[in-house]
Chains A and B, each alone.
Chain A
Amino acid sequence: MNLKRKDILSMASLAPEEIAIILEAAEPFKEVSGREIKKVPALRGKTVVNLFFEPSTRTRTSFELAAKRLSADVINFSPSDSSVVKGESLIDTARNIESMQADIIVLRHKAAGAAEVLAKSIHSSVINAGDGWHEHPTQALLDLFTIKEKKGELKGLHVAIVGDVAHSRVARSNIFALTKMGAKVRVVGPATMIPPYLDRLGVEVYYQMDDALSGVDVVMMLRLQLERQSRSLFPSIREYARLYGLTQERVQMAAKDALIMHPGPINRGVEIAHEVADSASAVILNQVTNGVAVRMGLMYLLSELH
């Protein structure tokens, strides 16, 4: 029941048993979040630093709430993005924070591998809250928790991940996480947004939405990063929405009580239609609720080292 590691850097580096331990640890914290007094003293006297080099509201808030509900002290640190934030300055910043006796550092950074570099340079625990296009492990963990909560088990489920897979750390973390837990993953999107060699990860690749959704138990939509249009990955938002937007008709292709998921923030009318986002099968807000519980469980498990 113990996690024998200092950091949570990627889903690729976690063993299935470790993932199971984290999901199990999150369970009791969901109950805590449902109480009138949403606080337990488990991490009293510990310090959690949210070090966010990229703008983020929901992930940072989720980590902040999680730490506060465990009675840890939380500091939010958002260094200016304008300076050249690479190797040396990142580590220097982190060493400064570590010198203030931080126990857990939650890092979001635009460079892939930033969390790993940081973890090697300091003694504090590091949780990767998103590094470039690489990984966003806590998002995958909360997605797994949500699926497990609704479907009972992960093994054997068919999951479709839809959208810009190539530039999505959420997709990458979920592909590793889901396949490790025995789910069958397929991805679908325009060819410009599907990276090569995905079959090596045991993932099926589709380019037609209707084919990909056929019979799946979970539809995981990715946010269309609208700024990518300028890089000619797709001709127009309208065309993207027509070909890859999740409409009520397309939901019918999936299994009868399929879950609709989205990491947020959602672009209504682009990757997901209004009525789908607000439908009973959408668990988008459950994902947000579960995110706090999963992050509490994770910090509880990591705190044993300090």
Chain B
Amino acid sequence: MNLDRSQSSPETLIMDGPEMGRALTRIAHEILERNKGTGDLALVGIRTGGVYLGQRLRKIIGQIEQSEVPLGELDITLYRDDLAIRKNQPVLRKTSIPFNISDMKVVLVDDVLFTGRTIRAALDGLVDLGRPAEVQLAVLVDRGHRQLPIRANYVGKNIPTSREEIVQVFLEELGEEDHVAKLKGKENSP
């Protein structure tokens, strides 16, 4: 593991690859249990990490239930509440939800739940695309410090953190070894 990523901010390992896999498997089961199968179920991953986690969840659900759950990708950039005050525009990516979300039970998937502002933006983005019957939230890590009344339905792991710490999810799909780490350092944009 690349523990010497930068000398000034040593990583603390929070989850390793197998732990991540087990957490996702549990979340997949919980989603199926709560929704009583895959009828009207859809996954929507929030760019970028959430998209890959959504793909993994879809695969696991497919193995359990032998059925394909539709999966979309949501870019929340245009719905951020800090666009007008940031000095640099964040990188914009494409939203691609190739199915009608109206009357579906949509599970939003994200890697880290922090202030809740990303989820707020995602909810705004979703309602512009249709009127889901229900929206649920699945996250790999909940690190606390909510600034909005938002709560996840499915959590891989709860981690106590201080506000200044950075929690990062590293994924194989992005050329890293699967793990979740806590980094010390000045707070980046959440």
Binding site for B on A (CB under 8 A): 1-2, 25, 27-28, 31-32, 35-37, 39-42, 44-46, 297, 300-301, 303-304
Contacts and interface: CB of A to CB of B under 8 A. Distances in A.
A10 to B, nearest CB: 22
* Overall SS of chain B's interface: loop
Contacts of A1: 89-92
Contacts of A39: 128
Contacts of B84: 44-46
Contacts of A45: 84
Contact of B128 (A35, A297, A304): A35
A2 B88 contact: yes
Interface of B: 75, 77-79, 83-84, 86-96, 124, 128-130
29 contacts: A1-B89, A1-B91, A1-B92, A27-B94, A28-B75, A28-B78, A28-B93, A28-B94, A28-B95, A31-B94, A31-B95, A32-B78, A32-B95, A35-B128, A35-B129, A36-B129, A36-B130, A40-B128, A42-B77, A42-B78, A42-B79, A46-B84, A300-B78, A301-B89, A303-B83, A303-B89, A304-B86, A304-B88, A304-B89
A123 to B, nearest CB: 16
Leading 4 A-B pairs by shortest Cβ distance: A40-B78, A42-B78, A304-B89, A28-B94
B87 A41 contact: no
A42 to B, nearest CB: 4
Contacts of B90: 1
Contact of B87 (A40, A301, A304): A304
Contact of B92 (A28, A35, A37, A46): A28
A297 B94 CA distance: 12
B128 to A, nearest CB: 5
A41 B120 CA distance: 13
Contacts of B79: 40-42
A27 B93 CA distance: 8
Contacts of B83: 42, 303
B129 to A, nearest CB: 6
Nearest to B83: A42
A304 B80 CA distance: 13
Given A42-B83, A301-B89, A304-B88, A37 B129 contact: yes
Nearest to A30: B94
Contacts, number: 51
Contacts of A28: 75, 77-78, 92-95
A234 B67 CA distance: 68
Contacts of A300: 78, 89, 92
A41 B77 CA distance: 10
A168 to B, nearest CB: 32
A301 B75 CA distance: 16
Nearest to A42: B78
A176 to B, nearest CB: 25
Please indicate which of the listed interface residues A28, A36, A303 has the most CB atoms of chain B within 10 Å of its own CB.
A28
Nearest to A2: B88
Nearest to B129: A35
B91 to A, nearest CB: 5
Contacts of B95: 28, 31-32
A1 B96 CA distance: 21
A156 to B, nearest CB: 26
A300 B89 CA distance: 8
A75 to B, nearest CB: 19
Nearest to A306: B84
A39 B84 CA distance: 17
A117 B130 CA distance: 45
A297 B89 CA distance: 12
Given A31-B96, A32-B95, 5 more contacts: A28-B78, A35-B129, A36-B129, A37-B129, A300-B92
A204 to B, nearest CB: 37
Contacts of A31: 94-96
Contacts of B129: 35-37
B98 to A, nearest CB: 11
Nearest to B75: A28
Nearest to B130: A36
Q: Which of A32, A41, A303 has the most CB of B within 10 A?
A: A41
Contacts of B78: 28, 32, 40-42, 300
A1 B86 CA distance: 14
A301 B88 CA distance: 9
A126 to B, nearest CB: 18
Contacts of B128: 35, 37, 39-40
Contacts of B124: 41
